[in-house]
Each structure stands twice: as C-alpha cells, then as structure tokens.
Structure 1
Amino acid sequence: MDLGIIGQAAGLFAVTNIDDILILALFFAKGAGHPGSTRRIVLGQYLGFTAILAVAVAAAFGATFLPGSAVPYLGLLPLALGLKAARQAWKDHRDGSEDRAEERSGEGGPSPLEVAAVTFANGGDNIGVYVPVLATAGIGGMSVYAAVFLVLVAVWCFAGRFFATRPVVAEALARWGHILLPLVLITIGLLILVEGGAFGL
C-alpha cells in the first residue's frame, strides 16, 4: 500500500473535516449521562460520512446524484436542527424543566439521524473537493482513500468524545452546550446557504 496516498488521504480528511470535532464534542456533551449515546453518535457520524463518500465516489465515476446547484441547500438541514434545538432549550429554560425534559427523552442525546444529517450537510461542500481527487486516483487509490477516511471517522469520534469529557471542557459544555449546539448548527446552516448562493443570498 502506497504510504504517500495514505498520507494524502489523511491530510485531505483532516483539512476538510476539522470543524467536525467541535460539532462532535457538542453532540457528545449533549448525550453525556445517557446510556448508548456514544454508540448512536458514532453510528450517525458514520452514516453521514458514508453518504458523503458514496456521493463523491459516484460522482467520480460520472453518476452525479447530487447536482452542484443543490449543495448550498444542504444548509437547511443543520439550520432546521439548530432552530429545533434552540426552541427546545428555550422551552426547557422557560419552564425550568431541563431535568424533566431529560427524563422524558428516554434514550436521551442526539439520534443517529440527527448526527448523520448534520454531518452530511456540513460535509456537502467537501464532495466538490473529493470528486476530482478520487477521479484521478484510480480504483486502487480510491479504495485507499475510502479506507483511510473511514478509519479517521473513528479517530474524529474519539477526539470529539475526548474533548467533551475533559473536566474543564465538559463543565463548560454542560453549562453552555444547550446554547452552543443550536448556535453552531444555525451558523453552519447559514454559512452553507450564504456561501453557496442559495436563494440568491
């Protein structure tokens, strides 16, 4: 296996997904204390990134399932989830029912589909970067890129959980996470929409 390609794949993944560590840390903080939340977050991250990879590979082979003009509208996903989280945080704060809300939530923490939706939307612009790289890598190189990417998803999940469980960070996220998560999701959604020129913005 070519170490050069492995290094290039690792570098490409790191550069295009550095912001995911913050989002994952917020998700892990939200799921703290809820049994099975780590498994659900990791599953959601893999679902979202696998979808990105599948679209990029398909596009590299010439079957573009996601037109370039549609990519900016992926920003609606994190925007909607951020607004939903903000509404819930405001409702819990107003009712003084944060503890009861956690009890009602059953499993608690973000669902795999929520994490997958944010991961896919936030990484939608990465598809445009991945396609030419994968298209010129050939079948063998493409397989190496895919394998390295999928291994690094696990590393990213570990890093996100690591940061979320550091005492100082965990205390800050526990105190401000219910505000930060909606804020980050809404910001990501708006940035994707504005930078992509959605709705003529």
Structure 2
Amino acid sequence: MDLGIIGQAAGLFAVTNIDDILVLALFFAQGAGHKGSTRNIATGQCLGFAAILGVAVAAAFGATFLPESAIPYLGLLPLILGLKAAWQAWQNHRDGGDEESAAKEGGPKILEVAAVTFANGGDNIGVYVPVFATAGVGGMSVYAVVFLILLAVWIFAGKFFATRPVIAKALARWGHILLPVVLIGIGLLILIEGGAFGL
C-alpha cells in the first residue's frame, strides 16, 4: 500500500472535516447523562459520512444522485435543526428548568446527527469527487478505508473534548446556546457560500 496516498487521504480528511470535531463535541455535551447517546452520535456520524462517501464515489463514476445545484440547499438541514434546538433552549429557559427540561428531551437522535454530518459535508463531496475520479478504484478504496478509520478517531476526539472537565463544564453551561448557534451558522454558511436562493 502506497504511504503517499495514505498521507494524502489523511490530510484530505483532516482538512475537510476539522469543523466536525466542534459539532461532535457539542452533540456529546448535549447527550451527556443520556443512555445510548454515544451510540446514537457515533451511528449518526457514520451514517452521515457514509452518505457523503457514497455520493462522492458514485459521482466519481459519473452518476449524479445529487445535482451540484442542490448541494447549497443542504444548508437547510442544519439551519432547521439549529432553529429547533434554539426553540427548545428558549422554551426550557422560559419554563425555568434548563437542566430538568433538557434531561427529558433525551440526547441527540441518530438521524439528526446524520443529517447535520451530511449537510456539513456537502462541500466535501465537491472536493472528493475529482480526487476519487483520478485515484482509480484501488486509490479510491485506500481513501475510503483511511477516511473510515479517521472517522472513528474524530468520534473519539469529539467525545474526549466534551468530557475534559474544563470543556465539559463550559459545554454544560453554554452548550444549549452554542449548539443552535453553530448549527444555524453552518446552515447559513452552506446556503450563502453555495449561492442558494440567490444569496
């Protein structure tokens, strides 16, 4: 196996997914104390990233399941989820029971995490397609294996950051505000950078 292509794959994954660590840490903070939340977050992250890989591989072979003009509109997914999280945080605050109400909500759902992962990685598809197309089947397989290994590392890193005492304390205090802000920001960024709705 060519070490050069492994290094390129690792570098490409890191550069295109660096923002995911923050989102994962926020999800892990939101799920703290909820049974099964780690499994839900990891499963959702894997499903979302598998969808990104699937679309990129298919596009590299010439199939277009997702027209390029549709990619900017993926920003609607994190935007809607961010607005929903903001509404829940406002309701919890208004009811005067941030922690108690949030505890009843449960941790992040698999499909929510998958949707945010896929939408946030929509621009990754545009980067991966030409790389995959020129790498050939063998090279593409190496990229896919390296990406999946690093995906596990990313999930552990998100959990690690969310459980460090100083970070965990900050996320416990501000996470209910940060998560909606980050999701709304990601959604708007995807919409604006992609020129959705003529933005």
1:49 matched residue in structure 2: 49
2:117 matched residue in structure 1: 119
Task: Give percent identity, aligned residues only.
Answer: 81
Secondary structure at the counterpart of residue 18 of structure 1: helix
Equivalent residue letter for 1:116: A
For residue 99 of structure 1, report the CA deviation from its aligned partner.
3.6
Report the TM-score, using the length of structure 2 for normalisation. Answer: 0.98
1:73-92 correspondence runs (5 A): 73-92=73-92
For residue 96 of structure 1, report the CA deviation from its aligned partner.
1.2
CA distance in 1: counterparts of 2:32 and 2:103, whole angstroms: 13
CA distance in 2: counterparts of 1:177 and 1:93, whole angstroms: 13
For residue 79 of structure 1, report the CA deviation from its aligned partner.
0.1
Equivalent residue letter for 2:111: L
Q: Give per-residue Cα distances to partners, 1:66-92, cap 9 Å, x unaligned.
A: 111000000000000000000000000
CA distance in 2: counterparts of 1:192 and 1:172, whole angstroms: 27
Secondary structure at the counterpart of residue 19 of structure 1: helix
2:173 matched residue in structure 1: 175
Aligned residues: 199
Secondary structure at the counterpart of residue 122 of structure 2: coil
Native 8 Å contact 2:75 2:190 kept in 1:
yes
Equivalent residue letter for 1:150: L
Equivalent residue letter for 1:94: R
1:32 matched residue in structure 2: 32
1:110 matched residue in structure 2: 108
For residue 102 of structure 1, report the CA deviation from its aligned partner.
3.8
* Residues 86 and 49 of structure 1: CA distance in aligned 2, closer, same or farther (over 3 Å): same
RMSD of aligned C-alpha atoms? 0.8
